[in-house]
Amino acid sequence: MAARLGFGQPAWVWSGFGIAFICAVIGGTIQQGLGTVDAILAIIAGNVILFVYASALGYASGKWGLNFPLTVRAVFGGRGSVIPIVILAVLVTGWFSFHTWLTADIIRAAFAIESGVAVALIALVVGVIYAVPVIFGIKSMALVRQIAIPAMVLFVIYYLVTKVFPAGSALFESTGDGSMSFLTGAGIAWATYAVSGTMTGDIVRYTRTGGQAIGVTGIAFLFSNAPFMILGALFAAAIDDPTVPYFLDSDSLSVLIPLAAIAILSTWSTADACLYNAAMGFSNSLPNVNWRRAAILGTVLGIIAAMTGVIGNVTNLLITIGLIVPPVGGVIISDYFLVRGRHGYGLDRRSPVNFAAIIAVALGIGTGLLMYFAFPNFIFGIPGITVALVTYGLLTKTVGPSLGAEEPSVVNAAEAEGMTKPAAAPSVAA
């Protein structure tokens, strides 16, 4: 408890994470498919879902001070936790890789670079720079946000003054090209942070209470990500040209250079948070891998994928994430609120593998895949969460002990109290 940071710094980190340039781009993509009004409504719906989902996970992490891998270990067992942690760490490494690739592509588009080798080298340099704050920890990451967030405010002001305000009410007359359903738009909006929303404990564990964790989550999605996605929809409506990359609607270098710089700063504040999540996962699941080795591992994997460009299709990445990740979160929510009750993580699971959790996740993923192919216009991810949450609760209450989902026992009372109450302030000598 003495090492927790309260509300402010975690809110800065999550806000900078949520105010991501790619979210504005995704908001513009939703607008092109749905039209302006429906896009705004879909973005709000998706972010409300994301807020509720991440808050249900973040509350426990804020109250107990546990990162995502530790909550997974508490639910899936020491050995059973390795696979879900590694899978999510790899997926969030994919997000780090995508943002590294995105930065190189922004530079390519802004300055008409045609050499693929040059773009790959740019991705290499960018990936290394983006990784530096992660190695030094969350306080260094907060410093990046203190630069990136004001820069994005300038970015928004520029586009509002030069594009949005002059367009006036015509912005809301766009009906889109019909390439997307409303529920698909909402699904894309919520899937933007399905991985990191699931891993929100890595950030909100630094708050002092569960209520603060929910507040930080609200800052992240309702007051940072959602407005920024809506602004992206308005920018796309104002430009009204899908061939313009990354809103770089200018032929003047004096305009392109600062716009590209601001976009890169915003992308940095998201990329390093993704790598932070990945490093947390790798260091908590792989043997003999400390924090810095885990950060280096994620950096190397991310840079390789970014340099090759294999990670460049954001829509496919979002769909994959939306189908695989939410069932894991559904099981964690079910275990904390339905099984552990008021004792929470003061209950310790003894079984090394909780097969009930693994079965519930597998059924959730399977259901999500079937629903996606049978009803592609439905909000992907929601069926998986629902099935995993309900299945785990039923298995635990019926055949749980035979599957390793025995009733967790209360840990040492002093240990449980120490986890939830503030520690004494350290002495000067300490």
Question: What pLDDT, on a 0 to 100 scale, did the predictor assign at position 212?
Answer: 94
Longest dimension (CA), the chain: 68
Instruction: Residue count of the chain, please give it.
Output: 430
CB 106 within 8 A of CB 264: yes
pLDDT for res 236: 92
- How far apart CA 250 and CA 151 sit, in angstroms, is 19
Given this model, what pLDDT does residue 374 score? Answer: 87
pLDDT for 390 equals 95
Specify the residue for token string 């009930």. 356
The tokens describing 182, both together, are 């409303």
Q: CA 294, CA 341: separation in Å to the nearest integer?
A: 34
**Among candidate residues 67, 85, 58, 57, the one with its CA nearest the CA of residue 331:** 57
Task: Report the pLDDT value the prediction gives residue 216, as an integer from 0 to 100.
Answer: 93
Instruction: Write down the residue that tokens 């899936």 correspond to.
Output: 76
CA dist 393 and 166 (Å) reads 54
Angle at 234 between CA 233 and CA 236, to 5 degrees: 65
Give the H/E segment covering residue 227.
helix 226-239
CA atoms of 43 and 229, how far apart (whole Å): 7
Angle CA(419)–CA(423)–CA(427) in degrees, nearest 5? 150
The H or E element that residue 409 is part of is strand 409-410
What are the helix (H) ranges across 77-137? 82-111, 116-136
* Cα distance between the two ends of the chain: 16
- Cβ atoms of residues 205 and 65 within 8 Å: yes
Q: What is the DSSP letter of 206?
A: T
CA angle 49, 50, 56 (to 5 degrees): 95
In order along its 430 residues, the chain shows pLDDT tens digits of: 888 888 888 888 788 777 778 888 899 999 999 999 999 999 999 999 999 999 999 999 999 999 888 899 899 998 888 888 888 888 889 889 988 998 898 888 888 888 889 999 999 999 888 888 777 766 666 666 677 778 778 888 888 998 899 988 888 988 888 888 898 899 889 888 888 888 888 889 999 998 999 999 999 899 889 998 999 999 999 988 887 777 877 777 767 787 788 778 778 877 887 888 888 888 878 888 887 888 889 999 999 989 887 776 777 777 888 888 899 999 999 999 988 877 888 877 788 899 999 999 999 999 999 988 888 777 878 899 999 999 999 999 888 888 888 777 765 544 544 444 444 433 333 3
For position 427, what pLDDT does the model report? 35
Which of 189, 236, 239, 314 has its CA nearest to residue 32? 236
- Write the DSSP assignment of 271-329 as a string of letters: HHHHHHHHHHHHHHHSTT--HHHHHHHHHHHHHHHHHHTTT--HHHHHHHHHHHSHHHH
Cα(275)–Cα(291) distance, integer angstroms: 11
pLDDT of residue 289: 83
pTM over 0.85: no
Question: In which residue are the tokens 């994301």 written?
Answer: 50
Which single residue is written with the structure tokens 């067992």?
77
Those residues with Cβ within 8 angstroms of residue 362's Cβ, 6 or more apart along the chain or in another chain: none
Residue with tokens 């490093």: 279
Predicted confidence at residue 410, as pLDDT, reads 64
Whether the Cβ atoms of residue 104 and residue 123 lie closer than 8 Å to each other: yes
CA distance 269 to 344: 32
